[in-house]
Amino acid sequence: MNLFKGFLIAMGVVVFIYTAVAIMNEGPNLFGSTWPLFLEWKWPSQFFMDFLTYLWLSGLWVAWRHEFSGVGIALGITASLLGMIFLSIYLLIAISKANGDMREVLLGKARVRAA
């Protein structure tokens, strides 16, 4: 579990630093620089579409894990917008709260209790 936690920390830090440098170089307007690429139907746009669906899936999972409560929906939207910067921190907190029980991390406390 410690290796996984270290991996989450490393991924979050690397993506945060990369994002900070990208913002310094191009400004904070992500969609202004990437959205036109979606219309080109080339490999970079395929990559962005694939990545976007991963973001939506992570947001949906976070909201589902919180049983689509108001907090869960807000966290899901945040996951979809911030990606690994959010998800690495979210998973570290979830692992800590679940005392490393991956069933609880993946399903949420209420679903594990109901099983």
Residue 100 pLDDT more than 80? yes
| pLDDT tens figures, 20-49 | 999 999 888 877 777 787 788 888 889 888
What mean pLDDT is predicted for residues 92-109?
94
CB 34 within 8 A of CB 48: yes
pTM of the model: 0.86
Model pLDDT, residue 44: 84
Question: Burial of 65 by CB count in 10 Å (0-12 exposed, 13-18 middle, 19+ buried)?
Answer: buried
Q: How many helices (H) and strands (E) does the chain have?
A: 7, 0
Taking the C-alpha atoms of residue 6 and residue 2, their distance in angstroms, rounded to an integer, is: 6
Model pLDDT, residue 45: 86
Cα-flanking dihedrals φ and ψ of residue 27, to 5°? 90, 175
| pLDDT tens figures, 41-74 | 888 889 888 999 999 999 999 999 999 999 999 9
Model pLDDT, residue 115: 80
N-terminal to C-terminal alpha carbon distance within the chain: 24
Model pLDDT, residue 105: 94
Cα–Cα–Cα angle for 57, 46, 87, rounded to 5 degrees: 30
